[in-house]
Amino acid sequence: MDKLIQYRIFIQVSEMGSFIKAAHMLELPRASVSAAIQELETDLGVRLLHRTTRRVQLTADGTQLLERVRRLLADADDIQRLFQLHQHQVSGRLNINVPSRIARRLIAPALPTLKRSYPELQLALGSTDRAIDLVQEGVDCVVRVGHLLDSSLFARTIGHIALINCASVDYLRQHGTPKEPGDLTHGHFSVGYASPNNGRELPWEYVSDGKTHEVAVPSWVIVNNAESYIACCMAGMGLIQIPRFDVQHLLDSRQLVEVMPEFRAASMPVSLLYPHRRQRSRRLNAFIEWFEVLMLSSLESPDSL
């Protein structure tokens, strides 16, 4: 077997900690993956992986080799990119994961443009608001909104989403229209949103004089995804803070109404996260370039979506 192929298999097994998962990602028989690792260990004369019934882990020699072959394969990919036409390189399956509303409201409607540019690309579009393990779940890239936790992944911020305050017409009819944050402590409710990172309800925030402030607004219901968040607001369960692109159609139809436009929360960054900057595949590069253009074309201002 070609040595570079063996190295690629070794990297995949090392990162996923499993022969079965690596075989699935590489679309190879498990026996071929196992044979490649055994042949590599025989050629080098060292054990690269500790095998147990539950997990595969790197040995000291394996850790040393992993660092070297990542650089080697990145250089090999760079050389190949120099001598091939970009568009015709992009083929195969790309696994990405994005927040559900970005998938539905922004990415899905724009997919025909991606297909025209890269007809040989197959996109596996997952959508969730929770943090995921890219390596364990076999995902090439994720899009996340908000401030990021410390991570070993590479993060690339491509814009900021502006948040607006909204309520349904029925809610405002029943509770009145708040004019300023102080009004929220008297007879008003919010729809609570649980942080995807720790499950805690996020506070109601607004920016004034360049500083972020919090207001204690009671909530009768707490949700953990954007679809439920908007649905509860439309049902009159409380006020929400939401990206404008998420609800523009509901604002246009007067199902929702923007309130307190002078007291919005701080805009949230939109970031792409992916592992190993130097080993980005051509299809991942193509998606990143396309997505950045898509986001920039959706910007309401140079700094906010």
Residues 182 and 106 in one domain: no
pLDDT for the residue 78: 63
Structural domain boundaries enclosing 104: 86-161+269-297
Query: Is residue 302 one of the residues assigned to a domain?
Result: no
Query: Does residue 290 share a domain with residue 225?
Result: no
Per-residue pLDDT band at 301 (split at 50, 70, 90): very low
Q: What is the pLDDT of residues 71-110, one digit of tens each?
A: 887 777 666 665 554 545 688 889 999 888 888 888 999 9
pLDDT at 302: 36
Predicted pLDDT at 299: 53
Q: How confident is the model at residue 192 (pLDDT cuts 50, 70, 90)?
A: very high
pLDDT the model gives residue 277: 56
Which has more pLDDT, 25 or 189? 189
Residue 216: partners with Cβ closer than 8 Å, 6 or more residues away: 185, 203, 204
Is the overall model pTM greater than 0.75, yes or no? no
In the prediction, which pLDDT does 1 show?
55
* Tally of domains within the chain: 3
Position 117 in a domain: yes
